């Protein structure tokens, strides 16, 4: 077991890289600066690399002291379209772009592990693959789909990933075995009706009223068409329509998200939404188009590999700091592509400062983490690779 004190020498490197990536965030499939730095670092460390995976993704390979099994560790490298509101010295210099999900930390932690193995190659009883993946936040279908499609998992025995979160205190690790995260699909509904003066609604077809009917009917799918024992969410998140207080518009657009944990439930909701929008269009003498933007599949953590993660985490930070979750998250994550292809597991790394007066969760413009968590995440990467390849 590689302990936290064993990687103390990499502290300044990990923090320096994390802050640099945080200061220069880039969104999905546009992470050119980030990718260039990763490439240069991996080459200096002696890794074989494949670049341009999903436009900007990098795959690295390091052969240890044998050609045994192959284990894959993954970090995502993209940021979000969000204006940062923190006051840190390394605040984003790219207007309207921020690492508010923590992918800067993921990249730095995996680079820290790579640096460790470049200096301790003899500890690898097999082959280490690392993926620095583009576009986890989209656009769809996400960068993970290209990693799998291009065959980078074909020679891999197991895959592992982690995600930092301020939902949990720094110094903790959480994991959900089995169904762990949802498919985060998107939808867009366009209602094309007949606009008219608000004083004479009978001379047109009211797109605003029709949109209200659509929203109400969509909510009935979860409450009345799906078993209460099956988790699903349909949320309408934007409604755009109208130009004046006394005009009924001829067009309204709605967008939102669908979250499901089961493939059959996912497909049922797709079918039911089409049936509902077609029926409402017929009843209201208008045209309604439904666009479904399929995202990542649900994320399923394999039992054996999840137990493996729990064992390593308990040895590293103590049993009292490791939590096995009972309930999945309805958030989405494109590491699900990897877990469909190969056995593995995905876990949560606590990143909230213990003395924080206010918690700013992932995807908040004030999001920031306790950098002490970076060494736990780096140590988890290192121990996963060593222990998996030694079995």
* Cα dist from 346 to 72, 107, 137, 333, 362, whole Å: 12, 16, 16, 10, 17
Hey, what are 106's tokens? 């993921």
CA dist 121 and 106 (Å) reads: 22
Instruction: Give, for 52, the enclosing helix (H) or strand (E).
Output: strand 48-53
Q: Which residues are catalytic?
A: 296, 371
Taking a C-beta distance cutoff of 8 angstroms, is the pair 294, 140 a contact? yes
CA dist 224 and 232 (Å) reads: 12
Q: Is the omega angle on the peptide bond into residue 98 within 30 degrees of 0, that is, cis?
A: no
Residue with tokens 């009883």: 125
* Cα dist from 328 to 16, 32, 260, 261, 368, whole Å: 33, 34, 11, 9, 24
Hey, what are 189's tokens? 């509904």
Hey, what are 33's tokens? 């600066």
List the Cα angle 351/103/49 in 5-degree steps: 130
* Cα dist from 325 to 39, 255, 348, 363, whole Å: 36, 31, 10, 22
CA dist 162 and 345 (Å) reads: 9
Helices 11-23 and 32-44, axial angle in degrees (round to 10):
160
Helix extents (H) in the chain? 11-23, 32-44, 103-119, 143-149, 207-220, 263-284, 303-317, 336-341, 373-390
Cα-trace Rg, the chain: 23
């Amino acid at each position: 077991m590689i302990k936290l004190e064993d990687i103390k020498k990499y502290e300044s490197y990990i923090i320096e890289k994390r802050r640099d990536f945080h200061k220069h965030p880039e969104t999905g499939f546009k992470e050119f600066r980030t990718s260039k730095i990763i490439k240069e670092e991996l080459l200096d460390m002696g890794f074989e690399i494949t670049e341009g995976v999903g436009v900007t993704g990098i795959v690295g390979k390091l052969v240890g002291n044998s050609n045994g099994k192959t284990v894959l560790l993954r970090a995502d490298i993209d940021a979000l379209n969000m204006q940062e509101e923190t006051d840190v010295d390394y605040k984003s210099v790219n207007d309207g772009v921020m690492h508010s999900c923590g992918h800067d930390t993921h990249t730095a932690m995996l680079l820290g592990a790579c640096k460790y193995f470049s200096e301790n190659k003899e500890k690898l009883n097999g082959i280490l693959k690392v993926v620095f993946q583009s576009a986890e936040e989209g656009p769809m279908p996400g960068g993970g789909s290209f990693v799998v499609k291009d065959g980078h998992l074909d020679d891999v025995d197991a895959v592992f990933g982690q995600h930092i979160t301020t939902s949990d205190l720094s110094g903790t690790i959480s994991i959900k075995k089995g169904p762990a995260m949802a498919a985060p699909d998107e939808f867009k509904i366009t209602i094309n009706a007949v606009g008219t003066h608000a004083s004479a609604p009978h001379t047109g077809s009211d797109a605003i009223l029709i949109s209200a009917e659509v929203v109400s009917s969509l909510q009935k799918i979860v409450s009345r068409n799906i078993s209460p024992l099956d988790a699903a969410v349909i949320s309408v998140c934007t409604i755009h329509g109208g130009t004046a207080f006394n005009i009924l518009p001829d067009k309204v657009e709605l967008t939102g998200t669908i979250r499901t944990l089961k493939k059959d439930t996912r497909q049922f909701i797709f079918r039911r939404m089409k049936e509902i929008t077609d029926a409402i269009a017929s009843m209201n003498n208008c045209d309604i188009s439904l666009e479904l933007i399929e995202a990542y599949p649900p994320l399923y953590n394999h039992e054996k590999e999840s137990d493996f993660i729990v064992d390593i985490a308990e040895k590293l930070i103590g049993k009292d700091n490791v939590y096995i979750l009972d309930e999945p998250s309805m958030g989405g994550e494109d590491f699900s592509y990897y877990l469909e292809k190969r056995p593995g597991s995905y876990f949560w790394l606590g990143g909230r400062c213990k003395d924080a007066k206010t918690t700013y969760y992932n995807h908040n413009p004030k999001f920031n983490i306790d950098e002490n968590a970076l060494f736990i995440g780096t140590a988890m990467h290192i121990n996963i690779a060593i222990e998996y390849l030694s079995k």
